[in-house]
Structures are given as C-alpha cells and as structure tokens.
Amino acid sequence: DHTTEHPTLHPTDIAHTLATTRTTFEHHAAVVGATRDELLAQLHTLAQDPALAVLPARPRTKKVAFLFTGQGAQHPGMGRGLYDAYPTFRGAFDTVCATLDRHLGAERPLRDVVFADDPTLLNQTRFTQPGLFALQTALTRLLTEDFGITPSHLIGHSIGEIAAAHIAGILSLDDACRLVAARGTLMQALPPGGAMIAVEATEDEVTPYLTEHVGIAAVNGPRSVVVSGDEADVTALAEEFSGQGRRTRRLTVSHAFHSPHMDPVLDAFHQVAGTLTYDAPRIPLVSTLTGEAGAAVDATYWTEHIRNTTRFHDGLTALHDLGVTTYLEIGPDAVLTALTREALPEAAAVPLLRPRHHEPTSLVTGLAQAHAWGVAVDWKGFLAGHGGRNVPLPTYAFQRRRYWLDTPDPAGSPAGLGLEPASHPLLATATELPDGSRLFTGRVTLADHAWLGDHIVMGTVILPGTAFVELAFHAAHTVGTDEIAELVLNAPVTFGARGAALLQVIVGPEDPSAGRTLTIRSRSEEDHSWTENATGHLSAPVPVS
C-alpha cells in the first residue's frame, strides 16, 4: 500500500532501505523485479497468498558449498547478460578468456565463441571446457566481491572440478587455464565415436554388465549412473535395464568421456599436468575422483580424473557429513541443483543461472532465495553500487501483545508513600514533579526476573535492549503519546554482585511543539553513582479534533 500511495519512490531506494535498515526475522519474503510495475505485481501476489513467497529461514550457517557444473550445461551466449550488467564479472571474464586464448591458440577468441548465437563452435570440446571455466571463475569473483559470499567448501563435476581447484587456491589462474586448454584440445583431437547413456540403476546393479570397452562415467545419485564406451556395448547395457522398466537416456556428446576411449590422450595430458604447481587449498575441495575431502591433487590425480568415474553423489554425501546445508550452483544451468535436491531433500540447493532467462534477474532471484535460507548476502554493498539510498518506509507491523512473565508484587505500598503505582513489571512507582516531569522508579532483581539470566553478553547479565524500548513506550503512553521520536542506548544495565539494579525513568516537562525528553538511569545496589543508560525524545501528542 505504501509503495502504491507514493509513486515517486524508486524501487532501488526501497530495496536499499529494506536491506540495510530492517531486521531479517524468522519468516520473510523476497520479490525480484526490474521495474516498479513488476515489483508491485509481485507484492500484490504476495499479499494475496504469502505462501507463494514467504520462506522460513533455515538455521543460519557458514557452511555453503559452491557446485561447479560439468560439460553438457553450456548454451550459446551464456554469461553475456552478466557481462553487460556487472563490471566485476566483465573484468574477470575478459582476464580469464585472454589467459585461455594464449594456451588455446585458436582462430577465434574464446569470448566471441561463448557469446556467439551459433552453438557450433561452443559445442566443440576444445571450446566447451574453457568456456565453462571462464564463466565459472568470473561468476565466483562476482559472488565474492559484489555480494560478499565466500564458500566454505567446493565441489566440481568433471571439468567443473578444475574451476573449483582454482578457486580453492590449488592452481593459479595461468596453470588452471593451461590444464583446461590441454584437456579440451586433447579430447577434441580424439576420433569421434562411442556413446554415453544415463541409466536409472545403482552402481552395484550396473557393475556386472561392464566390459573392457564400457565403464561407469559418473555416479550422480543413489540410482543414477552414466555408462560410457563403445556404442554397441553401451547400447546393449542400456537395453538390458530399459527391459526391466528402468529409465535410460542417451546423452548428446561427441566422445565417450570417462571411458577407455580417453586412454590415448592420458600420457600427453599427464606431461602437461606435470609442469604445473600445486598448492595447498585455502578452501576445502571435495574430490569427485575419490568422493572424499582432502585428496592429494597432482598430475596423476588429474590424469585419472579424465579416465575414471566422476563420483559426484559420493562427494555430496561427504559435504553433507561435513555439515554443509546450502549449495549454490556455479554454472549456466541447474544440472547439479537437481541432483543435489534429489540426493539431499532437506538441503537448500539454488541455481544461479538458467538458459533463456534474463541472467541478472536469475542471479538476484537465486541469491534472494539463498538469503531466505540463511546465506549472508551483502545487499548493502550490491545496492549501493546501484545508487540506492535510504527513504522513509513503514516499520514492521508488530501485533504489540505483551508477554511479561508474572512476578511478585513490589514490596511496600506506593500509595502509602505518596506515590502512584507504575503498573509495569520493571517499575514500582510513579510520581509527577512540580515542573510537569514524571519520575518512574523500580528495583529489578535476577531473583524476581529469572528470565534475565538467559541474557548474557561477554559473561555479564544485562537488561535486553528490547526492555529499554518497552520502558520508553510505557513512559510515552503514560504522558499521552505512543510515538518515540528517538531512543539512543548509551550503556547496559548491569546487576552487580547482589543481582539487583535500581531504575529511574525520567520524562521531562511537556513542550507543546517539541514533545518531551526521556532519560533512563540505573545503578547496582552496592554502587552509589547513577549511569545514564539511554536518552530519547517523545513526540508531542497529536490533536484528535
């Protein structure tokens, strides 16, 4: 309603204000749009059916894994939308492509191949693998530098693991580019042929049907494997399982990857891999060659990586055992997201890019979903880069129900002392002073308010900040206003060795135009000096007639 009633509000300013001045509560929603009308339409939909967009925040975790997609997910123009929208992505993509071009020695620059509308060159392995590496490296740079997201763990499917190894710090950019270029070029030079078929079966079920010409290329799920090798043998194996009512799907590939068909390039590839420098990872990498974390990565590792099974499902299991609960797919499609959701239904798996989708919108939508699931996203930095500023917006519509615990009545009778009862759990007395000020006093003890014992900061029990707000509202209501114009917390209320604190809430005399001042003071029972804990300002009451 507020957005509709204020047509001059810019969507960027609204987003900036919500992201930087509002608390993220347990239940919240995110809507994404490029224009005011798009955002209003989504907000109206949300108001009519909150279940469409409200997501319960899963436990906030620092364990976020990046999943690097493998070959087969590429599509013409991938990354072009991010390239046009984000300078960080553009700079990183250009740097990686220039480095790869030096090692590829191709007739066309890699960037032109990736962004071309014609997929012919991009679908050639010598360009597919470098293109994916460039996209994934630039996308990771964008996530870390512009959105403040740093992964706790990394995993890559087949060629995607080289990008993961570079991000982990195992390979420098130049060494990673040399490895990717050699891998794609050597594979492209192999005679075409063979077949790869996805089969609905377990690894144990498929193993008896393997021959010297057929291997398991990938274990993608508990009942999802890919077989690769000679076309006749692979087709026969697939027909055996389809005859049992199992689903099978032939993959569109130029070669039978991760099979005996790769044997002719292994020696040449090992020579290239042997000239590289391998450093210890800065970010833990889960291997899809072993399915475990902490594998020793060297020239032999990458050579076996070409030939042997990609154990993505085992890697996911290892990540789950390490406590990872959120997975962001770093690639041009949602291939690994689907596998992750199937294997780990309770996990939060989010794709960041999808074919035929506007890439900046797809990215921000994915990050909004990740944010709702507990990933800390630096929206302030992102929106500041888009010129966002803070504007007045309505605050959260609290129901304002009181939940104070019952406590013993304060000792003594205020009336007998010439005072009024304060009618507040933390305050005992109230009195009006000659100048129109009001003074509230109280004695708060840990014995009477046991719930305070749960609010400990750096080993000391203190009065929660929300209690200051409640005290201010009570004082404001008593003098005829419910609006707190300002409240500044200066120092905590502590309870000393005796577990008790004396409180004073002072509301200054009324100024018809400026309202009243507010001061909250305290001291422990054994201390004779008062501490000014909070100061504020109460607005003047608004006339009703």
Residues 6+ apart with CB under 8 A from 404: 425
Q: Which residues pair with 51 in a beta bridge?
A: none
Instruction: Identify the pLDDT of residue 304.
Output: 98
- Mean pLDDT for 243-251 is 94
Confidence of residue 11 (pLDDT cuts 50, 70, 90): confident
Query: Is 244 part of any domain?
Result: no
Question: Could you tell me which residue, 340 or 414, shows the higher pLDDT?
Answer: 340
What would the 3-class secondary structure string for 462-498 be?
ECCHHHHHHHHHHHHHHCCCCCEEEEEECCCCECCCC
In 369-425 the beta strands, taken as DSSP E runs, fall at 420-424
Query: Is 236 part of any domain?
Result: no
Q: In the predicted model, is pLDDT for residue 381 greater than 80?
A: no
Query: Is 472 part of any domain?
Result: yes
Query: Whole-angstrom Cα distance, residue 467 to residue 354?
Result: 47
CATH of the domain at 529: 3.10.129.110
Note whether 164 and 22 are same-domain residues.
no
Q: In the predicted model, is pLDDT for residue 500 greater than 60?
A: yes
Tell how strand 214-221 and strand 224-229 pair up: antiparallel
- Mean pLDDT for 96-123 is 96
Phi then psi dihedrals of residue 362, to 5 deg: -60, -45
Note whether 135 and 260 are same-domain residues.
yes
Q: In the predicted model, is pLDDT for residue 495 greater than 80?
A: yes
- Mean pLDDT for 199-226 is 95
Q: In the predicted model, is pLDDT for residue 335 greater than 90?
A: yes
Instruction: Identify the pLDDT of residue 374.
Output: 81
Question: Could you tell me which residue, 293 or 392, shows the higher pLDDT?
Answer: 293
Name which of 55-64, 336-345, 385-394, 416-425 the model is least confident about: 55-64
Instruction: Identify the pLDDT of residue 33.
Output: 73
Pure H helices in 497-540: none
> Do 41 and 79 form a contact (C-beta atoms < 8 A)?
no
Q: Which of 324, 349, 375 is the last residue of a domain?
A: 375
- CA dihedral (371, 375, 376, 382) positive or negative: negative
Query: Whole-angstrom Cα distance, residue 277 to residue 287?
Result: 18
> Do 15 and 382 form a contact (C-beta atoms < 8 A)?
no
Read off the pLDDT of residues 45-61 as tens digits, 9 standing for 90 and up: 777 666 555 454 454 56
Name which of 55-64, 147-156, 458-467 the model is least confident about: 55-64
Query: Is 476 part of any domain?
Result: yes
Domain range for 151 is 64-193+254-375
**pTM for the predicted model, two decimal places:** 0.72
- Mean pLDDT for 436-452 is 89
Most confident of 186-200, 370-384, 507-521: 186-200
Read off the pLDDT of residues 281-307 as tens digits, 9 standing for 90 and up: 999 999 999 999 989 999 999 999 999
The DSSP code for 213 is T
Query: Is 83 part of any domain?
Result: yes
Confidence of residue 314 (pLDDT cuts 50, 70, 90): very high
Instruction: Identify the pLDDT of residue 53.
Output: 54
- Rounded percentage of the chain residues whose pLDDT exceeds 90: 62
- Mean pLDDT for 24-32 is 68
Instruction: Identify the pLDDT of residue 28.
Output: 65
Note whether 462 and 322 are same-domain residues.
no
Sheet architecture: strand order including 438-445: 420-424, 427-432, 438-445, 500-507, 516-524, 531-538, 484-489
Note whether 32 and 144 are same-domain residues.
no
Note whether 70 and 39 are same-domain residues.
no
Instruction: Identify the pLDDT of residue 372.
Output: 80
Name which of 502, 530, 501, 533 is nearest 518 in CA terms: 533
Query: Is 22 part of any domain?
Result: yes
Note whether 305 and 432 are same-domain residues.
no
Both tokens of 303, joined, read: 């050579």
> Do 103 and 276 form a contact (C-beta atoms < 8 A)?
no
Note whether 87 and 166 are same-domain residues.
yes
Task: Determine the residue type at 335.
Answer: V
Name which of 8-17, 262-271, 341-350 the model is least confident about: 8-17
Name which of 432, 104, 382, 453 is nearest 96 in CA terms: 104
Q: Which of 31, 56, 81 is the last residue of a domain?
A: 56
Note whether 85 and 182 are same-domain residues.
yes
Query: Is 333 part of any domain?
Result: yes
Read off the pLDDT of residues 58-103 as tens digits, 9 standing for 90 and up: 545 669 999 999 999 999 999 999 999 999 999 999 999 999 999 9
Question: Could you tell me which residue, 195 or 6, shows the higher pLDDT?
Answer: 195
Note whether 183 and 304 are same-domain residues.
yes
Instruction: Identify the pLDDT of residue 59.
Output: 46
Instruction: Identify the pLDDT of residue 398.
Output: 58
Residues 6+ apart with CB under 8 A from 302: 162, 179, 269, 270, 273
Instruction: Identify the pLDDT of residue 544.
Output: 36
Confidence of residue 252 (pLDDT cuts 50, 70, 90): confident
Query: Whole-angstrom Cα distance, residue 334 to residue 357?
Result: 12
Confidence of residue 371 (pLDDT cuts 50, 70, 90): confident
CATH of the domain at 279: 3.40.366.10
Radius of gyration of the chain measured on its C-alpha atoms: 32
- Give me the number of domains the chain comprises: 3
Question: Could you tell me which residue, 20 or 213, shows the higher pLDDT?
Answer: 213
Q: Which of 357, 375, 393 is the last residue of a domain?
A: 375
Instruction: Identify the pLDDT of residue 471.
Output: 93
Both tokens of 98, joined, read: 């220039």
Query: Is 321 part of any domain?
Result: yes
Q: Which residues pair with 457 in a beta bridge?
A: 460
Note whether 326 and 452 are same-domain residues.
no
Instruction: Identify the pLDDT of residue 399.
Output: 58
- Mean pLDDT for 451-467 is 86
- Rounded percentage of the chain residues whose pLDDT exceeds 70: 89
> Do 176 and 165 form a contact (C-beta atoms < 8 A)?
yes
Q: In the predicted model, is pLDDT for residue 104 greater than 60?
A: yes
Note whether 85 and 164 are same-domain residues.
yes
Q: Which residues pair with 484 in a beta bridge?
A: 538
Note whether 40 and 87 are same-domain residues.
no
Q: In the predicted model, is pLDDT for residue 247 greater than 90?
A: yes
Question: Could you tell me which residue, 49 or 341, shows the higher pLDDT?
Answer: 341
